[in-house]
Structures are given as C-alpha cells and as structure tokens.
A and B are shown apart, each in its own frame.
Chain A
Amino acid sequence: VSAPGPQVLVIEDEPQIRRFLKATLGARGYRVLEAPSGEEGATLAASHNPDVVLLDLGLPDIDGLEVVKRIREWSPMPIVVLSARGMERDKVAALDLGADDYVTKPFSVQELAARVRAALRRAALSKGDGETPVVAVGDLEIDVARHVVTVRGKRVRLTPTEFRLLATLARHAGRVCTHRFLLEEVWGSRNAGQTHYLRIYMRQLRNKIEESPARPRYLLTEMGVGYRLVDE
C-alpha cells in the first residue's frame, strides 16, 4: 500500500465545482476534504490541518479574505485562492494577507494541479533549511547563495537590484509575488507604490534573461497582481 496522498481542503459553496474538484484531485492521488462555507472551512482547517487549502473568495457566509486571516493566525499551510476574472483587487488582498497563490475561474484542472503542486513543494522546502539553493527552469539557472545566474550555460551579468529582484522571485519560484511584496522585499517598504520601478527592472531582467522578452518564458506578468517566475 502506497503512502496516503496529500490532503486538500476545498472551501467552495458551489456543489458542482466541489464535485469535479473532488473527482479530478482524487484521481491525482489527493485526499479531498470539503467545506461548503467559510466557517466550516476555517474549522476543518484547524481540526484536520490539511496539506493545502483551496479557497473560493466568494463565499456565502464570511468573506474569503477573513478565512485567509483566520488560518494565517496559526498556520503557514499553503492556501490557493479561487477567484473570478476581474477581481484582481481581491486576489491581491488575499495574497497580501498571506495566501500563496490564486487560480482564475474558470480554470483547467491542469492549471489548478500545477498551482497545488507548486504550493506543496514550497511548503516542503520551507520546512527544510528555508533557503532555496538553486532554481533551475529550462535553460535558466539561479544560484541564489552564490549570486550566479546563467542562461543556456552562459553567465548573465545583473545589477544588484536586478539580482535582488530575481532572487526574491526565485525564492518563491512558481508562486505569484504581488507588486507590494516585491517592492518591500527588494526596495524596502518605503517604496511601496512605486510600481513603475518594479516594471522597469522587470523589463531589464527580461531583456537579459528571456530569449524573446515580448514573449516571456520564465518571468511572467500577472496583470494587475504581480509577477511569477515559472518553475516547471
């Protein structure tokens, strides 16, 4: 008998969505726990301590953001938010409250599974020594500790700010980083609001790393939310 798969708590009020999530995630080896409301979700999270939470932001009883807050009071368990298009502000709010990532409805199962995998990976990493030594995706390799970035085996020369930005994204590889988070990590909190600095540096990074900066492969823009360094 193989070890039981990771446990996923699905907090979602639409039974149809719960149904297909349960079926498809179950088929991929996850054990699925369901909660049709925010209150129940928060309670189940506390009692079962799942490996990852899928949280719909539009719940009937309490605000999804409130659920994020309650869970973050006691646990760093990965939370992936499910949200409709055009609700970028809510997504950013959830992420800034500590949610790990988001998927926009309607989503494909592949997309969702990728996010959940990434979230689990990061959770496992942060239980270890905490620091990501090397991130390797495709032809890109980032050695955060040694300050070395190579593309197709060739070393890329970065400015200190460019490197700090890339290293921050690399430490959270696969996960979306909000503008505010990046500004605080790279520039310190006093520059929050100067999002265009961030955009200028992202452009410079893309010009140095991407083969075709206008069709990025590694450094993706999540318009209205932030940036993501792909990790698979």
Chain B
Amino acid sequence: MRSTPTAYAWSVLTTALATGIAYLLLHRFAPTNLAMIYLLGVVFVAARFGRGPAILASVLSVCAFDFLFIPPYYSFAVDDTEYVLTFGVLLGVALLTSGLMLRVGRQAETARLRELHTSALYRMSREFSRAVSRAEIVRIAEEKMGEILGADVWVFLPAADGTLAPAPGVTSAFPLAESEMRVAQWVFVSGRPAGRGVENFPEAGALYLPVSGTRGRVGVLGVFENEAKGAPGIERRQLLDAIAGQLALALERDALAEEAREAKFRLESDRLRETLLSSVSHDLRTPLATIAGAASGLIDGDRALDEATRRDMVLSICEEADRLNRLVNNLLNMTRIESGALHLRKEWHPLDEVIGSALTVLKRRLGDRPVQTRVAEDLPLVPMDGILIEQVLVNLIENALRHAGARGPIEIEAAERSGEAAGDREVVVSVADRGPGIPPGEERVIFEKFGRATRDPASAGVGLGLAICRGIVEEHGGRIWAENREGGGAVFAFALPVGRDAPETIEESEE
C-alpha cells in the first residue's frame, strides 16, 4: 500500500478535524482526555492510509495538542515532560496500527490472488479436459498463462527424435535465441528447472520448468517475465509448478488419446488394405483375363473365327487395356492423395477450358453420345491445379457414363454463386445423368474408398474414382456431393472457391 499525496492530505485534514473537536470541548474536559480525540484520529489515519500518513498525523497531533491545549497556550514550550509520553503513545499507536493494517492488507491481497489463481487454474484444467489436440492444449496453456501470470510463455515439445522445439502456433513476444533453446533442452534432459532466478543458468532470459507427467517428461515450459524482476516469489513458483503439472497431465492425456486413435487407425487401415488388395486384384485380373484370353484366342482359333468375331476380340483387348490404364492411374492418384504427396500447382483457369479438355480426353469413350454443356459465359477464372481438376471431371464423367446407359445423355453445367461464408463466391460444376440414380442413403458413402453403391451391378472398376475426386476437391478447399435428380438420374457436383484478385480480362478492339 503506497501512500499518495491524497493520503497525506487526509492525514492533515483528520488532524485538523480532531483539533476542531478538541477545541469545542476544551472547557469541559481535561487536556489529557482531549488527547484521546487525537488518538482516535491517528488510529483512523493509520488504519486507512498506512504508516507515513499515520506518523505525520501523530506528529501534527502532538504539535497541535501542545500548541493549543497545553499552557502556556499558543506556544511550543513544554514545561514538564508529561506530554512527551502523550506523543510517544500517539506515535506508538500510529506505528502499531498501520503495521497491523498493512499485514491484514497483505494477507487479504494474497488470499485474493490465491483465489484468482485457483479459479484460473480450475478454468485452465477444464479447458484442457475439453481440448482435442496437442495444438489446442498448447494454445490454451499459452492463453491462460498469459492471463494468470501476465508473462510471455513458450511451450516446448519434444520431436520424434527427442530434440526439443517450440510448439507450433505459439507466438510469444519473447525472442528465442539459440542459447535459450539450449537451456530448454537442458531442462528437458535433466528434469530440473533452470534460467532466471534459479540456480542453473541464471543468465538465461526466461525461467524454464520441466513439464513432467506420470510417464516421464513431456515438455518444457518457458516463462518470460515482462517486468525486470528477480527470482519469482515462492507463491509464483508454486503457481508455475501447478500450471506445469496441469499441462503435463493434459499433454499426457492427449498422447494417450493419440495412441488409441493410431491403434484404431492401424486396425482400420489393415482392414482397408485387405479390401484394397482383394478389390485391386479382382479389378486387375478381370481386364488381364480378358486380354490374355482374347489374344490367345486370336492366335489359336485363327481359322475358326470369322472376321467380325476377330474384330470384336481385338476391340475388347483395346478396351480392357484402357480400363487397366485407368485403374493404374487411379491407384497412383489415390496413393498420392493418401500420402499427402499431392502438391497443387494452382494457376488461374477458366472452367470451360478444363471441361473442354476433360471431354477431349474422353472423346473416344463418349463416341456420339449426347453431351450437353451449359457453362455461364461470364464465369471467373478459378485458382486450381488444372491437371487434377481435369482428372476430377474425367472421373465424374466416366462415372456418369457407367450409369447413364448405352445412349443416355450427360449434362455438364458450370455456374458461379455465393459460397457458404458471407462474401465468398464459388463456382459449381455438375455432371448429371439419367441413370438409375444413387441408392437412398448412399449419397456420402460413394465418395469413400471402395464405397461404390453396393448393389449396383453397373459399377465395374475399382471404387476409387469418386474418392479421388473428393481428395482433389477438398485439397482445393472445395466441396463435392451427389444427389438424385428430379425425374430420375444422379447429379455429381463440386464447388471450388473463387479466389480473390482474379486477373482482369483485357479489353482490346477487333481489327
């Protein structure tokens, strides 16, 4: 509690007030009793404003008392030493009371802080328990610690190879020098605190605490005090330890959850691999069997086969080879998507061009089947990887071809509309057919790997095409979906976000 000039003013005022009251009572009471009024004033000032003002009040009180109420009046000449005692008592009371009040105040402040910290810790642990990822835990820790400690905080987590690195996403204002990293690493290895205010590495800029859970150390907490303070007090150290403990628990819990997830994923991917193997081997063998059979038939039954049959067999060899090629492409693409090796090379493309080039790729398979394209003329350029989006269109059109029936029409549309978030625009491309449509309830499943509509006899070929479409579209930040059309058939559509700052079309007059 620091005394302000106001407090000293109050001290003077209180003494003046006591003097006023004493003056009014001067003729009815003995001077000794008048001193009591001053005592009251001094106690009040000591309790309310602390030591300095209290001392001032007691000095002023004794002076005033002596000057006004002790004969000879209006002079400081003190005949006997009697009133020295009065002064002593007043001063003693002032010191005692103010000291007492200071302690009480400090205790109250400590209690208040402790209460604040406890509730903050509680809030932090509650948020920790809701966090679903390491990144989120780190974010919460950083945020809450900033709130509680008023300090900048780094959370260090070990990488797979055991070296420590600042958790990604932490944006502390405290610059992280190489030397600081070494201290953090030391703390992680030794398990002892180091840095400012403690025994080890006191020259470091921050205080580093080990974050240890039940299964060993999970990280290091770096605390950078904004104010140039010395060692943190015992209270603060306890608080820091409590925070480190909670952080350790949260990180450990997350690690366990991650392990469980991984185990589940391994199980699932085992199952998936099995499906993949059986599906792929079936889908590889079918065209291979056709090719081998037809080719050997052509050698063997040379004379027995008429010209039309021979031609038919050659054609089926070509078709099945095509199918094999598509299958291999799909497998390659799927592998790329799954392993995260799909690197988008985004450029500004007009969608009509991509649609046109997909149709060119499929020219032979389309034959003279009716294909209707409705592309809005003022479609903006869209940032995309042209090769991959062409692949999406090829897969969607092939899918439509499989279901549309031998001569069924295919309709392709592209239009711009407002996106899901306010102010965003997107371009929606759809491929529609008049086939049997999607079995109810399977509108989402078909985009899963091998999720081809189960009872659909028309879907030959590995069920990868649509999963690849989804992978590519989602990599572009877009969405893909399927639904049944009114009047029969299915429509597959995807939406790509229209980027900002699309290049302008250049105006130029004709010759």
Contacts and interface: CB of A to CB of B under 8 A. Distances in A.
B502 to A, nearest CB: 9
B505 A200 contact: yes
Interface in A136-163: 147, 157-163
Interface stretch (A59-67, A112-120, A191-199): A191-199
Contacts of B350: 199-200, 203
Given A157-B510, A215-B371, A196 B347 contact: yes
Contacts, number: 83
A224 interface: yes
Interface string A77-97: 000000001101000000000
Contact of A213 (B349, B356, B506): B356
Contacts of B381: 196, 199-200
Nearest to B379: A203
Nearest to B332: A86
A1 interface: no
A216 interface: yes
Q: Interface residue tally of chain A, by bracket?
A: 20 to 34
B321 A106 contact: yes
A158 B356 CA distance: 22
A224 B377 CA distance: 23
Contacts of A86: 329, 332
Contacts of A88: 387
Contacts of A200: 350, 381, 503, 505-506
Nearest to B366: A215
A172 B325 CA distance: 30
Contacts of A162: 508, 510
Contacts of A213: 352, 356, 375
Contact of A220 (B329, B347, B360, B510): B360
B133 interface: no
A26 to B, nearest CB: 19
B348 to A, nearest CB: 4
B347 A158 contact: no
Contacts of B505: 200
Contacts of B506: 161, 197, 200-201
A201 B381 CA distance: 12
A222 B510 CA distance: 27
B511 A160 contact: yes
B347 A223 contact: no
Interface string B352-396: 111111011000000000010101010001000011001000000
Contacts of B390: 223
Interface in A99-114: 106, 108
Nearest to A195: B347
A159 B349 contact: no
A2 interface: no
Interface in A155-206: 157-163, 195-197, 199-203, 206
B339 interface: no
A231 B357 CA distance: 17
Contacts of A3: none
Q: Interface residue tally of chain B, by bracket?
A: 20 to 34
Contacts of B503: 196-197, 200
Interface string A204-216: 0011000011111
A111 to B, nearest CB: 10
Given A199-B381, A216-B360, A163 B511 contact: yes
B509 interface: yes
Contacts of A222: 357
A221 interface: yes
A212 B373 contact: yes
A2 to B, nearest CB: 28
B349 A216 contact: no
B372 to A, nearest CB: 10
A85 B377 CA distance: 31
B412 interface: yes
Contacts of B357: 220-223
A200 B329 CA distance: 30
Contacts of B332: 86
Contacts of B354: 221, 223
Given A159-B510, A160-B511, A215-B356, A196 B387 contact: no
Contacts of B511: 147, 157-160, 163
A37 to B, nearest CB: 26
A158 B381 CA distance: 22
Nearest to A230: B360
A175 to B, nearest CB: 16
Nearest to A204: B505
A140 to B, nearest CB: 16
A159 B356 CA distance: 23
Contact of A221 (B318, B353, B412, B509): B353
Nearest to A161: B508
Contacts of A85: 329
B374 to A, nearest CB: 8
A106 B387 CA distance: 18
A213 B350 CA distance: 12
B364 to A, nearest CB: 9
Most buried by B among A106, A196, A212: A196
B347 A159 contact: no
Given A214-B373, A215-B373, A223 B355 contact: no
Given A106-B321, A200-B381, A212-B373, A159 B509 contact: yes
A199 B357 CA distance: 13
A61 to B, nearest CB: 25
Contacts of B353: 199, 202-203, 206, 221
Interface string B130-161: 00000000000000000000000000000000
Interface string B419-448: 000000000000000000000000000000
29 contacts: A85-B329, A86-B329, A106-B321, A106-B325, A108-B318, A159-B508, A159-B509, A160-B508, A161-B506, A162-B510, A196-B349, A196-B381, A196-B503, A197-B503, A199-B350, A199-B381, A200-B350, A201-B506, A203-B353, A206-B356, A213-B352, A213-B356, A214-B352, A214-B355, A215-B371, A220-B360, A221-B353, A221-B360, A223-B387
Given A195-B348, A216-B356, A216-B360, 16 more contacts: A86-B332, A106-B325, A147-B511, A159-B511, A160-B508, A160-B511, A162-B510, A196-B347, A199-B348, A199-B381, A206-B353, A214-B352, A214-B356, A214-B375, A214-B412, A224-B387
The 3 A-B residue pairs whose C-beta atoms are closest, nearest first, are: A196-B348, A214-B373, A221-B357
